Amino acid sequence: MIPQSFIQDLLNRVDIVDVVERYVPLKRAGANFVACCPFHGEKTPSFTVSQTKQFYHCFGCGAHGTAIGFMIEYAGVGFIDAVKDLAQSAGMQMPEFKPEHPRGKTEEGDDLYAIMLKAAQYYRNQLKSAPRAIEYLKMRGLSGEIAREFGIGYAPDGWQNLHAEFPDYDAKALVAAGLVIQGDEGKRYDRFRDRVMFPIVDQRGNVIGFGGRVLDKGEPKYLNSPETPLFEKGRELYGLYQGRRAIRDAGRVIVVEGYMDVVALAQAGIGYAVATLGTATTPTHVQKLLRQVDDVVFCFDGDDAGRRAAWRALENSLDQLADGKQLSFLFLPQGEDPDSHVRKLGKDAFEKLLGDAKPLSQFLIDELKSHVDLATGEGRAALLKEAKPLVMRISARFLGRIIRQNLAQVAGLDVRDLEREYGIKESRSVQARPQYRRSVPGFW
Q: Which residue has better confidence, 58 or 252?
A: 252
Residue 296 near residue 253 (C-beta atoms within 8 A) = yes
Residue 407's Cβ-count burial label (10 Å; 0-12, 13-18, 19+) is buried
Provide the residue type at 347 as one letter: K
Mean pLDDT within 283-294: 90
Angle formed at CA 371 by CA 366 and CA 374, multiple of 5 degrees: 80
Residues paired with residue 4 on neighbouring β-strands, in sequence order: none
Q: CA 105: distance to chain centroid? A: 24
Q: CA 126: distance to chain centroid? A: 29
Residue 329 near residue 300 (C-beta atoms within 8 A) = yes
Q: How many CA atoms lie within 13 A of 217 on its CB side?
A: 0
Q: Is the pLDDT of residue 41 over 80?
A: no
- Taking the C-alpha atoms of residue 180 and residue 73, their distance in angstroms, rounded to an integer, is 33
Q: Which residues contact 387 (CB under 8 A, 6 or more apart)?
A: 364, 365, 368, 407
Amino acid 4: pLDDT: 83
Q: Is the pLDDT of residue 426 over 70?
A: no
102-106, 140-144, 209-213, range with the lowest pLDDT? 102-106
Count of CB atoms within 10 A of residue 334's CB? 9
pLDDT tens-digit map of 56-98: 998 876 778 899 988 887 776 677 888 888 998 888 988 876 5
Per domain, the residue ranges of the chain are 4-89, 112-224, 244-364
Count of CB atoms within 10 A of residue 168's CB? 10
Q: DSSP 3-state helix, strand, coil percentages of the chain (rounded to 5)?
A: 40, 15, 45
- Taking the C-alpha atoms of residue 161 and residue 197, their distance in angstroms, rounded to an integer, is 14
Q: Which residues contact 171 (CB under 8 A, 6 or more apart)?
A: 108, 110
Q: Is the pLDDT of residue 110 over 50?
A: yes
Q: How much of the chain exceeds pLDDT 90, in percent?
A: 69
Are 112-224 and 244-364 equal in CATH topology? no
Topology annotation, domain 244-364: Dna Topoisomerase Vi A Subunit; Chain: A, domain 2 (3.40.1360)
Count of CB atoms within 10 A of residue 375's CB? 8
Residue 328 near residue 298 (C-beta atoms within 8 A) = yes
Q: Is the pLDDT of residue 419 over 70?
A: yes
Q: Is the pLDDT of residue 166 over 90?
A: yes
Amino acid 252: pLDDT: 96
Amino acid 1: pLDDT: 67
Topology annotation, domain 4-89: DNA Primase; Chain A (3.90.580)
Topology annotation, domain 112-224: DNA primase DNAg catalytic core, N-terminal domain (3.90.980)
What is the length of the chain?
444
Amino acid 437: pLDDT: 43
Residue 289 near residue 310 (C-beta atoms within 8 A) = no
Backbone angles phi, psi at 411, to 5 degrees: -85, -5
Residue 213 near residue 222 (C-beta atoms within 8 A) = yes
Q: What is the pTM of this model?
A: 0.76
CA dihedral 394, 396, 402, 403 (to 10 degrees): -20
Nearest to 431 by CA among 402, 397, 405, 388: 397
Radius of gyration (C-alpha) of the chain in whole angstroms: 25
218-222, 306-310, 349-353, range with the lowest pLDDT? 218-222
Nearest to 33 by CA among 72, 83, 85, 70: 70
Count of CB atoms within 10 A of residue 245's CB? 10
Amino acid 305: pLDDT: 87
